[in-house]
Amino acid sequence: MTYQMTSEQQGIRDAIFRICEEFDDEFWLDRDREGGFPHELHQKLARDGWLGIAIPEEYGGAGLGIVDAAIMMQAIAESGGGNSAASAVHMNIFGLNPVVKFGTDDQKKKHLPPLVAGAQRACFGVTEPTTGLDTTKLKTRAVRQGDRYVVHGQKVWISTAQVADKILLLARTTPLEEVKKPTEGLSLFYTDLDRTFVTVREIEKMGRKCVDSNELFIDGLPIPAEDLIGEEGQGFRQILHGLNPERVLIAAEAVGIGRNALRRAADYANERVVFGRPIGQNQGVQHPLAACWAELEAANLMAMNAGALYDAGKPCGNEANAGKYLAGEAAVKATQTAQLTFGGFGYAKEYHVERLVREAILFRIAPVTPQLVLSFIAEHALGLPKSY
């Protein structure tokens, strides 16, 4: 099997790079220092129709696949914007896939066009402070009261909640002790993020300052019954239709940030002369960078293969998780190797690689840790006993 972009996919990549050229290193350095959501990039991508790349055409999108979306997201990260740029639009691309798959026609007509147009933003409310990745044990409760649900609970690490209008929220509608399987009794809602009932508290973090991460405290949020996505109690199954595409996109973005770091390092190694020769002529500099290139490109093949399987309607859990794992590891190694290539200057913000180092680490940690990915692969690809 070989993977090669079609001319249409190359066109996507070229078009995204042209947009991102408007947002140079100084733009992202300022965002890294001062914060502030990159509305300019978000709106520019919206005006050119890119926020709906994987949304069906009848709802205002382009109707393309996850591979096409991955190419787009990779270009955004690779342009120099890194995780900050990619995270500004990331949720738009994968997050509402459960709505596309399980929402009614009325729900799709109501919710998808504003997201595509950039008129609304959404956040993804799954993770909780006491359950982490043990999603079946989440404690946020949604109780049916007439024609609405009332929700109480907490969520954590919710990106873009400071600027979001909507939330895709997973909550338990049937207590855990009353269901046959722990994956049952969870329900998915797409509803207003009503700050009358939801307190949003930003978390200070290591990098990606311009795209906020938050704790959410939900106290009696009323959700109209019409905002339930699909069948009550089947939210866990529905949310999986967002998780594998997200892993593919994360992997593509990680490869993008690693490629950008390598480009910066190679340019510097060609220009920096020490002891009468460019440092890039030394194998001690060449070989680590070359190894990083090979690892990034191998991870990219796995990620794109996972995306192609998803687009074909085939199982892709092993491949999506493996792609995310390989790309996260490769991105961390590539950015750190690039930083070392710069020597002491790699520690200076003006050379930008230190920002890439800080942002790449998030690709390794989230949305699933490397340890849990390996446990998943051990069980599902190798047939070993479940360890968690």
Q: Rounded distance, CA 21 to CA 44, Å?
A: 12
- Predicted local confidence at residue 116, as pLDDT: 94
Query: What are the sequence ranges of the domains in the chain?
Result: 7-117, 122-231, 237-380
Could you tell me the two tokens for 52? 């709906």
Please report the pLDDT score of residue 61 as a whole number: 94
Q: What is the mean pLDDT of residues 58-73?
A: 96
| Long-range contacts from 242-245, C-beta under 8 angstroms, 24+ separation | 242/94, 242/95, 242/96, 242/97, 242/98, 242/124, 242/168, 243/367, 244/306, 244/310, 244/316, 244/317, 244/320, 245/54, 245/66, 245/69, 245/93, 245/94, 245/97, 245/307, 245/310, 245/320
- In eight-state DSSP terms, residue 385 is P
Class of domain 237-380: mainly alpha
Is the pLDDT assigned to residue 264 strictly greater than 60? yes
Instruction: Please say if the pLDDT value at position 219 is more than 90.
Output: yes
Q: Residue 205: CA atoms inside 13 Å, Cβ hemisphere, count?
A: 22
Is the pLDDT at 1 greater than 60? The verdict is: no
The string of DSSP codes covering 194-252 is: -TTTEEEEEPP-SS-TTS--EEEEEEEEEEEGGGEESSTTBHHHHHHHHHHHHHHHHHH
Domain 7-117, what architecture? Orthogonal Bundle (1.10)
- pLDDT, one tens digit per residue, over 43-58 is 999 999 999 999 999 9
What pLDDT was estimated at residue 279?
Answer: 98
Indicate if the pLDDT at residue 133 is higher than 90.
Answer: no
Domain boundaries 122-231, corresponding CATH code = 2.40.110.10
**Tens of pLDDT along 102-119?**
999 999 999 999 999 999
Tokens of 233: 């109690």
Amino acid at 68: D
What confidence tier does 251 reach under pLDDT thresholds 50, 70, 90?
very high
Tell me which residue has tokens 């055409």. Answer: 57
Q: What was the pLDDT predicted at 97?
A: 86
Q: What is the pLDDT of residue 277?
A: 97
Tell me the Cα Rg of the chain.
21
Q: Between these two residues, 194 and 97, which has the higher pLDDT value?
A: 194
Q: What confidence tens digit (pLDDT) does each residue in 138-157 have?
A: 999 999 999 999 999 999 99
**What is the rounded average pLDDT of the residues 13-34?**
97
| 169-187 pLDDT tens trace | 999 999 999 999 999 999 9
- Check: CB of residue 363 under 8 Å from CB of residue 331: yes
In degrees and rounded to multiples of 5, residue 217 shows phi and psi of -115, 110
- Backbone CA torsion sign across 338, 71, 39, 157: negative
Alpha carbons within 13 angstroms on the beta-carbon side of residue 192 total: 11
Instruction: Say which amino acid occupies 99.
Output: V
Whole-angstrom Cα distance, residue 276 to residue 269? 13
Give whole-number Cα distances, 84 to 41, 56, 72, 270, in Å. Answer: 11, 26, 15, 28
2 pLDDT band, cuts 50/70/90, is low
Strand pairing category for 166-172 and 122-125 = parallel
Q: Could you give the percent of the chain with pLDDT greater than 70?
A: 99
> pLDDT (tens digit, 9 = 90+) per residue, 325-361?
999 999 999 999 999 999 999 999 999 999 999 999 9
pLDDT tens readout for residues 272-306: 999 999 999 999 999 999 999 999 999 999 999 99
154's enclosing H/E stretch is strand 148-156
Same fold yes or no, 7-117 and 122-231:
no
CA 43 – CA 268 distance, rounded (Å): 33
Q: What is the pLDDT of residue 247?
A: 96
Rounded to whole angstroms, the Cα distance separating 163 from 157 reads 14
Residue of higher predicted confidence among 93 and 259: 259
